[in-house]
């Protein structure tokens, strides 16, 4: 039995999320279906990072155990055929053999996300960016983003009914950047809670518009309550950008 990591990217608009669900189509369901067709045997997958309905990924991973042999020289051929089977909004980018105990979720060192906002109307960005035609103070947005790195408990930015043992996350990057008429929030951390990035973005936008002061923003974090957190930012602006691993888990 050998273990493999399969790297994927996808447009999440048509899916109910990353992880397999009953009575709903997901990224995992489509990839498992393609593997079944190609390898002619069921290949259960374990995901690295769950993304919600409508959220996209430039990079995400599954791992799977294969009772069958995958010739390393034929991996490019396997990738080609899997992509021919998969719908156009999902792509397999790589398949790599790993150590037998490597785990796509637990061995991830970090995840990084980006949230895209366009400030002027643009019909070509409606599936991958949030149209937000309001005046924003970028300096205030970045002050709020920097504040986040001083905290570890993000219960205020976790949606209710989330079954987790801890709300602690370590953020190593949190910054807003402008690109012509676009605004991008980049955040990197060891883990993220359900709805966390969208909650951070929505609440910081209120700081950028002057609806919350920086002190009020800090109070929301310290309250450990999501009652004043704004989760209304739409999913289509959010991308899982990268999942990082130590190179030594790959053979």
- CATH number of the structural domain 110-242: 3.30.70.660
Considering only residues 72 and 57, tell me which one the structure prediction assigns the higher pLDDT. Answer: 57
Q: Is pLDDT of 32 > 80?
A: yes
List the domain boundaries for the chain: 2-106, 110-242
Report the predicted TM-score, pTM, of the whole model to 2 decimal places: 0.94
Over residues 31-56, the mean pLDDT reads 95
Q: Is pLDDT of 145 > 80?
A: yes
For residues 111 and 170, is the Cβ–Cβ distance under 8 A? no
Pairing of strands 182-189, 110-118: antiparallel
Over residues 49-70, the mean pLDDT reads 93
- pLDDT attached to residue 179: 85
* The two domains 2-106 and 110-242 share their CATH topology (first three levels equal): yes
Q: Is pLDDT of 163 > 90?
A: no
Residues contacting residue 45 through CB under 8 Å, at least 6 positions apart = 6, 28, 31, 32, 35, 62, 63, 64
Cα 93 from chain centroid (whole Å): 16
Residue with tokens 């990738």: 79
Q: pLDDT (tens digit, 9 = 90+) per residue, 188-225?
A: 999 999 999 999 999 999 999 999 999 999 999 999 99
Q: How confident is the model at residue 78 (pLDDT cuts 50, 70, 90)?
A: very high
Confirm whether 153 is a catalytic residue: no
Fold exhibited by the domain 2-106: Alpha-Beta Plaits (3.30.70)
Over residues 74-89, the mean pLDDT reads 96
**Per DSSP, what are the bridge partners of residue 96?**
5
113 is in an annotated binding site: yes
For helices 214-223 and 196-208, give the axis angle rounded to 10 degrees. 150
């Amino acid at each position: 039995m050998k273990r493999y990591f399969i790297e994927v990217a996808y447009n999440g608009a048509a899916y109910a999320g990353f992880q397999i669900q009953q009575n709903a189509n997901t990224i995992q369901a489509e990839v498992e279906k393609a593997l079944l067709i190609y390898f002619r045997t069921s290949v259960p997958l374990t995901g690295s990072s769950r993304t919600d309905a409508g959220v996209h990924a430039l990079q995400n991973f599954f791992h799977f155990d294969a009772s069958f042999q995958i010739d390393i020289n034929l991996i490019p051929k396997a990738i080609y055929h899997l992509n021919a089977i998969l719908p156009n909004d999902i792509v397999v980018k790589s398949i790599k053999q790993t150590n037998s105990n490597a785990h796509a979720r637990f061995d991830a060192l970090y995840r990084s996300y980006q949230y895209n906002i366009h400030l002027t109307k643009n019909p070509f960005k409606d599936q991958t960016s949030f149209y937000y035609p309001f005046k924003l103070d970028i300096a205030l947005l970045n002050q709020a983003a920097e504040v986040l790195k001083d905290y570890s408990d993000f219960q205020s930015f976790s949606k209710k009914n989330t079954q987790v043992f801890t709300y602690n996350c370590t953020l190593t990057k949190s910054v807003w950047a402008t690109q012509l008429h676009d605004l991008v929030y980049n955040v990197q951390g060891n883990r993220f809670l359900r709805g966390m990035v969208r909650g951070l973005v929505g609440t910081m936008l209120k700081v950028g518009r002057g609806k919350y002061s920086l002190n009020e923003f800090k109070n929301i974090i310290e309250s450990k309550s999501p009652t004043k957190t704004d989760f209304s930012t739409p999913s289509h602006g959010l991308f899982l950008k990268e999942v990082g691993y130590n190179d030594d888990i790959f053979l």
